Structures are given as structure tokens and as C-alpha cells.
């Protein structure tokens, strides 16, 4: 069964304090692992797609990495505006399903 | 290029009433998805479609039906609304696996009394 688990559920950081969010997955025929940012009252905003183990992508203070079992979203020197819920999802090549994890809510304090 | 749009943005229904939510995309995407988002539950897949004329069940399909008669539109129907269907509904689309950018609509807030 396709499944995505994110940890931690919530994370509080001081501005400038780097950390990582985890996304563990099981999926039949991975055709992409997606990261999104969601602000309250809005739809998810696409950040990255990763396709194969060893792949890395970066955008400003965010860096996403992928292994065969999990993905990490590294946040370097975060700022208060990085506060949001970060969602991970996997696309099954066998079924076409796009399954989400529960998300990690990040709060960055000045 | 409007991306993904959802209609309506907000709706109040009485228990037992029916309604249809419309998702439209102008990007020629093959794959389309309907999710519901409830507090503490994340995004749960209701139904999805991998191409015009195809639909499949997701994680929480009961009480919902869908149709994809045209490639650009994906309709979500509630035949007899229940209070448990109070939620925020999001539609999403992607061109095909391997063509990575995915787009979400702005969401539809549904309240069932």
C-alpha cells in the first residue's frame, strides 16, 4: 500500500537555526516525490520534484534530497517568512495516485 | 494561461442537497486529482483521473462521484451532502509522470449544515 509519513508534525526554530524535515515513503513504482509549501487559507505551492535516489534540488534556503526510502527538506538559516506547513507527496507510476503525508508545520521565530 | 481554477470558492449546503464542484485547467494536463483537507488530516485523495474519460477511486471516495468528459475539466459531485463532507476541497493537475511541475487550485470551502 502506498504510504507517506512526515516528521516531525511540528517544528519551532529560531531565526537562523538550520534543521531538516523528513518524508518517509512506500510506493509502487515511484514516478516523482513532490514537496510543497502551504500557507494558512491557501492551496499548496509547488516547491520541488525529485525522481531518483541521489537527486538534490535547491531553492533559496531550501534543499531537497531523495533516497530510496525517504526524502529530506533541509532549511538553512530560516527566516520568519519560511513559517508554513510543508507537505510531501509521492506519485505512483503503477496507479497514477498522488498520495500526501500529513505535513510538518514550521514556525520560525525572530 | 489561468492555471487551475475551481468553482465555486465557497458554498453552504443543507444535509441531503446535491452539488457539483468544477475544476478546470488550461495547461493540457493529463492527470487530475480531487482532495479534501480537514484540520489535522492532511490532504486525502478522493478520486483521480489519468486521462480524458478515465476516473479512479482514491483513499476516501465514499459519498462522491466524478467525471472527466473533457480533458480540461474534472467534476466532483456530492449526490446527498452530509455534515461529514464539510471540508476544503482542492483540485490538482500534472502533465504526466516525469514532467514535474504540479499545480493546485485555490480551493473550495464547503459547509454542510
pLDDT digits (tens, 9 = 90+) for A24-34: 999 988 999 99
**pLDDT at position B96:** 75
Least CA distance to B57: which residue of chain A? A97
**pLDDT at position B40:** 76
Give contacts of A100 with chain B, Cβ < 8 Å.
35, 42-45
How far is it, in rounded angstroms, from Cα B33 to Cα B89?
10
User: Residue A93: pLDDT band by 50, 70, 90 thresholds?
Assistant: confident
More confident residue, B96 or B109: B109
For chain B, say whether A42 makes contact (Cβ under 8 Å).
yes
Task: Tell me what the mean pLDDT of segment B55-67 comes to.
Answer: 96
Task: Tell me what the mean pLDDT of segment B14-43 comes to.
Answer: 93
Q: Which of B41, B103, B105 sits opposite A46 (nearest CB)?
A: B103
**pLDDT at position A94:** 87
As a whole number, the mean pLDDT across chain B is: 93
Is residue B99 predicted with pLDDT exceeding 70? no
How far is it, in rounded angstroms, from Cα B73 to Cα B23?
6
Task: Tell me what the mean pLDDT of segment A70-84 comes to.
Answer: 97
Q: What percent of chain B has pLDDT over 90?
A: 83
Residue A25's H or E segment, with its range, is: strand A19-26
The label of the residue with cell 486521462 reads: B51
CA contacts within 13 A on the Cβ side of A79: 4
**pLDDT at position B2:** 63
Least CA distance to B38: which residue of chain A? A102
* B residues 24..63 contacting A (CB < 8 A): 31, 33, 35, 40-45, 48, 50, 56, 58-59
Closest approach of B7 to chain A, Cα-based (Å): 14
Q: Which of B40, B50, B90 sits opposite A96 (nearest CB)?
A: B50
Closest approach of A11 to chain B, Cα-based (Å): 15
Closest approach of A72 to chain B, Cα-based (Å): 18
Closest approach of A107 to chain B, Cα-based (Å): 16
Is residue A43 predicted with pLDDT exceeding 60? yes
As a whole number, the mean pLDDT across chain A is: 94
**pLDDT at position B1:** 53
Amino acid at each position: 500500500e502506498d504510504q507517506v509519513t512526515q516528521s516531525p508534525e511540528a517544528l519551532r526554530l529560531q531565526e537562523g537555526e538550520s534543521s531538516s524535515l523528513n518524508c518517509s515513503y512506500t510506493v509502487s513504482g515511484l514516478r516523482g516525490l513532490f514537496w510543497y509549501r502551504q500557507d494558512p487559507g491557501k492551496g499548496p505551492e509547488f516547491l520541488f520534484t525529485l525522481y531518483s535516489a541521489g537527486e538534490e534540488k535547491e531553492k533559496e534556503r531550501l534543499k531537497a534530497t531523495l533516497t530510496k526510502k525517504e526524502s529530506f527538506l533541509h532549511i538553512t538559516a530560516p527566516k520568519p517568512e519560511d513559517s508554513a506547513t510543508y507537505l510531501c507527496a509521492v506519485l505512483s507510476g503503477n496507479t497514477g495516485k498522488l498520495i500526501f503525508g500529513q505535513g510538518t508545520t514550521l514556525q520560525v521565530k525572530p | 494561461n489561468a492555471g487551475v481554477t475551481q468553482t465555486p470558492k465557497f458554498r453552504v449546503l443543507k444535509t441531503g442537497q446535491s452539488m457539483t464542484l468544477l475544476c478546470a485547467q488550461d495547461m493540457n494536463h493529463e492527470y487530475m486529482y480531487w482532495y479534501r483537507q480537514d484540520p489535522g488530516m492532511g490532504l486525502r485523495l478522493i478520486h483521480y483521473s489519468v486521462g480524458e474519460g478515465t476516473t479512479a477511486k482514491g483513499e476516501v471516495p465514499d459519498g462522491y462521484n466524478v467525471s472527466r468528459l473533457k480533458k480540461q475539466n474534472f467534476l466532483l459531485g456530492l449526490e446527498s451532502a452530509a455534515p461529514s463532507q464539510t471540508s476544503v476541497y482542492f483540485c490538482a493537475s500534472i502533465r504526466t509522470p516525469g514532467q514535474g511541475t504540479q499545480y493546485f487550485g485555490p480551493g473550495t470551502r464547503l459547509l454542510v449544515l
